[in-house]
Amino acid sequence: MSGPARAAIYHLVPVSEFRAGVKRGLYTPSRFAQDGFVHCADRGSVLAVAADYFADATEPVLLLEIDPERLAAPVVREAAAPIPGGGGSHLAGAALFPHVYGPIALAAIAGVAPLVKRGGAFTWPDRFAPVREVLGRGAVR
């Protein structure tokens, strides 16, 4: 008998960075070489992270819903690793954050949704779309 499935984890990224980071079925964020891992969050801290780092974004910010069971790279829950220039409100809501120590396989991305601001604050998406709807069928192999 297998144990319970692990809950989804989430990664926030501007749409242009997501498109630029997809190659050969993998997504690698622009900060990966610098940080050594992919910054992720649990559902409860996503909106605070978005407010801290993407409040002034000039393009759509995507929320990637990642199935940790489909990742080839290890997920390690660690203390926050704040990125310079971001706020700190997300630090109050979570002691540990999921960090993925390798690129994200597109097959592990269960869905993608743009974050929408309502009343000046980001809100949880109504719907997550398949990656191929965001990138186009040719980009997902």
Report which of 114, 104, 111 is spatially closest to residue 129, judged by C-alpha positions.
111
pLDDT, tens digit, for every residue of 85-121?
554 444 445 578 999 999 999 999 999 999 988 888 8
Q: Is residue 65 part of a domain?
A: yes
Q: Are 32 and 98 in contact (CB under 8 A)?
A: no
Write out the residue range of the structural domain in which residue 97 sits: 9-139
**How many structural domains are present in the chain?**
1
Q: Report the side by side order of strands in the sheet with 26-27.
A: 22-23, 26-27, 104-105
Q: Which residue has the higher pLDDT, 31 or 139?
A: 31
Q: Is residue 49 part of a domain?
A: yes
Distance CA 117, CA 20 (A): 24
d(CA 79, CA 102): 18
pLDDT number for residue 91: 47
Identify residue 119 by its one-letter amino acid code. Answer: G
Query: Closest Cα to residue 97, out of 86, 112, 81?
Result: 81
In a domain, 112, yes or no: yes
- Is 1 a member of any domain? no
- Better pLDDT: 2 or 85: 85
The CATH number that applies at residue 88 is: 3.20.170.20
Is residue 3 one of the residues assigned to a domain? no
- Domain-located, residue 95: yes
Predicted confidence at residue 117, as pLDDT, reads 87
In a domain, 86, yes or no: yes
* Contact indicator for 27, 62 with CB cutoff of 8 Å: no
Give the pLDDT band (50/70/90) at residue 141: very low
